[in-house]
Amino acid sequence: MTAVVLFEELLCKNGKLVGVATLNSPKSLNALSGAMIDELFPQLTEWQQRADIAMVLLQGSIEKAFCAGGDIVKLYQEMKTHPNEYSEEVESYFAREYQLDYLIHTFGKPFMVWGSGIVMGGGLGMMVGASHRIVTENSRIAMPEISIGLYPDVGGTHFLNKMPENCGLFLGLTGASINAADAKYANLAEHFVLSDLKVDVVDTLVQINWGETVALNHDKLTDALREFERRSISQLPTCHLKINQATINKVTQGDSLQSIVDAIVSEPIEDKWFNKAQKSLKHGSALSAMIVYKQLQVADSLTLADCFRMELNLSVKCGKFGEFCEGVRALLIDKDNSPQWKYASINDVEDDVVNWFFESKWEQAQHPLATLGN
């Protein structure tokens, strides 16, 4: 069988090594499977600890996609097997995924993600934790969980709140797809490099005079990528978020979720990107919208590790509740695009239900991610 992750160590001119991990499941657009996580986590941990590894590059095996998200088809099968129950498999998958994301966030050494093509859900969770995040003219990025009855996890609690002027709330509620310019604007990416320059970028990595000082190694990689961005920037696409920033500010000013959703959906604007976002929100899960709204409200007081702990609780409960299962069925299994959501509107969602999602399933010491960040 072909390995789901390919690992390579590139010898640099001064004897240091660049660790390269390549997601290798092209048929699934490199969807992040449990097997991938189980390959990545120990190898990245080893590279983090080895003195001869100067930096790490994480990429996809195809230009079409870095990673299209988590392996939600496998999760659907598990949820169908255990309807309205807590699933150990669902818990295990999300716990391992969030541990991997946290490792990337806290890696220390330069960690570069080549985020070309589709970067969604679990793929964005890996990319956004990297110290050096590259997007290309082909990048298509989204957290579209509202369309499948989930919510923006994989650290979304943390990174959506770091976006400018309510862009995080807007993207979380609408699942809108964004491009490279949007990603830079929203602090999801740092460098825009044309995809045709990738070979040159990798060649440059092995020419860098890596040293023993991690901070200086970060600077050396940043300087190299800035030169490639200078050669690419004239082809940076239009930034939808910036163009629509005033409108986003206007429609997210409401003092309740219902008023915000009403404002977004009813905004009279002729902009294809914004109109598509309106449609996604209109047809998305009302329960997911409620979770997103509360998720971002409580995020300011949480550390990164606490964000992942809260998300694991939310994700496990989504696996039990049924909305997530129905959303995946409609989009990816039966593909009828007609999910039968439990709630027709936000006003139909009881406060007790939303509060249940945010009540921890575990005592603090028993939480599967209790030691994260310690």
Q: Which residue ranges of the chain lie beneath pLDDT 50?
A: none
What does the longest C-alpha to C-alpha distance in the chain come to? 63
What pLDDT does 300 receive? 83
pLDDT (tens digit per residue) in 314-357? 999 999 999 999 999 999 999 999 999 999 999 999 999 999 99
Strands (E), the chain: 5-11, 17-23, 53-60, 65-67, 111-115, 118-120, 132-135, 140-142, 191-192
Class of domain 5-366: alpha beta
List C-alpha distances in Å: 220 to 128, 133, 210, 227. 20, 15, 8, 11
What pLDDT does 374 receive? 80
| Rounded-to-integer distance, Cα 228 and Cα 352, Å | 52
Q: Which two tokens stand for residue 258?
A: 């219902």
From 121, 107, 95, 92, select the one nearest 44 (Cα to Cα): 107
Q: Where are the domains of the chain?
A: 5-366
pTM listed for this prediction: 0.97
What pLDDT does 301 receive? 87
What pLDDT does 111 receive? 98
